[in-house]
Structure 1
Amino acid sequence: MSDVPLVPVALDLGDLVLRAPADADAETVAAAFADPALRMWNPPPAYDEDPHANALAWIRERADWSTGIRLAWAVAAPGGPLLGSVSIRVDASSANGTIGYWTTPAARGRGVAGRAVRAAARFAFDVAGLHRIELAHAVANPPSCRVAQAAGFPLEGVLREAYAYGDGRRHDEHLHAKLRTDPD
């Protein structure tokens, strides 16, 4: 397996760029974490205590690739505002990863998440040497199912009551996965 880079690597998709999260993104991240849909399906850590400070902590954690356990990008238009985030937790011992993502309300329904997930997965396969990447989302969240399908992650099954989401209830999840050998 390849060595995971120690610093974020930008991925240029033309009209989108996956780049290192930056402190300048804090206002947009804090606003995104206030969005009810994001809070339901991707609950932020400790948002209510100090939204700006929590956004900065979240950004700095994701901008640090030095541990080799997370690859994370801010998703934006070139020179434009933050549209979302995509990250992959890396298990180097098994060459597997788990991908997660979110988008701001303004970016939803435009294909941003699907393209970002596809690009991040390709990087993880080609550069970090992963073999399998899993994507799980609540069955009750159909937009995330569309993202998984658009990014080329086939549905593998249902994980019953697998995760407690923002409403505090455990939800069934769809498990999607992509292998390095799957076609793009």
Structure 2
Amino acid sequence: MVDPLPATPVRLDAPGLLLRAYVDTDAPDLTAAFADEDIARWNPGSPDPEAVEAFMASRNDWSTGDHASWAVADPTGRLAGSVSIHRLDRDQGDAEIGYWVAPWARRQGYAVRAVLLATRFGFGPLGLHRLYLYHAVDNPGSCAVALAAGYLHEGTLRQSFRYADGVHHDEHLHGRLSADPEPERAAR
């Protein structure tokens, strides 16, 4: 059985990284991130100010118990991305994890570190048995993040999800069990 969530985001710290609630000062960076071509292609989100405000409010409200979502912040507190444990199935003890990184923070290890930290929260305080993720086969960066965070490639789902371009893309399914060892990179 999965442990209950608090009503608001739990702050999680790691070297060079902070997972926290969204704050009002994140709005300009969220607007810019949602306007980025790569984020818009693979992730939901609109740069419209009302949509940005609604996104932050929904991610900061854990009271439904179906997700744990965080703003990923760099050491200065600036928004670097997003990570979320969602589709939480309390009976099965599993959930999906998703992430994106803002253009100004890419290739600096934020995605892998954020996924590792959120995974530890999922397997630790939440008591999950399994976490999984999907990404478009055409998104090799997301595949690299999944593998580096210890999520094994379990298969390819043919034309399984229609992304923003209106096309049903093939997706990779990756999974990690609570009993799986931390990836070597994370142990350092």
TM over 0.5: yes
Structure 2 SS opposite 1:181: coil
In the other structure, the counterpart of 2:144 is: 146
**Partner deviation per Cα, 1:59-117 (whole Å, 9 max, x = no partner):** 00000011110100000113321000000111112111001111100111111101101
1:1-184 equivalent positions in 2, closer than 5 A: 1=1, 2-44=3-45, 47=46, 51-89=48-86, 90-184=88-182
> Once the two structures are superposed, what CA deviation does each residue of 1:124-147 show, in whole Å capped at 9, x if it has no partner?
110111111111000010000000
Q: Which amino acid aligns with 2:136?
A: A
How far off its partner does 1:27 sit? 1.1
Q: Counterpart of 2:104 in 1: which secondary structure?
A: helix
Q: Contact conserved, 1:22 with 1:63, CA < 8 A, in 2?
A: no
**RMSD of equivalent CA atoms:** 1.1
SS at the partner of 1:62? helix
Q: How many angstroms apart in 2 are the aligned matches of 1:7 and 1:63?
A: 6
Structure 1 unaligned regions, length at least 5:
none
Distance in 2 (alpha carbons) for counterparts of 1:21 and 1:87: 12
Shift of 1:172: 0.4
Residue identity (%): 50
How far the C-alpha of 1:24 sits from its partner, in A, is 2.0
Structure 2: runs of 5 or more not aligned? 183-188
Task: Tell me the number of residue pairs that the alignment of Structure 1 and Structure 2 aligns.
Answer: 180
Scaled by the length of structure 2, what TM-score is found? 0.92
- In 2, Cα distance between the equivalents of 1:121 and 1:164? 26
Letter in 2 for 1:3: P
Give secondary structure in 2 for the equivalent of 1:24: helix
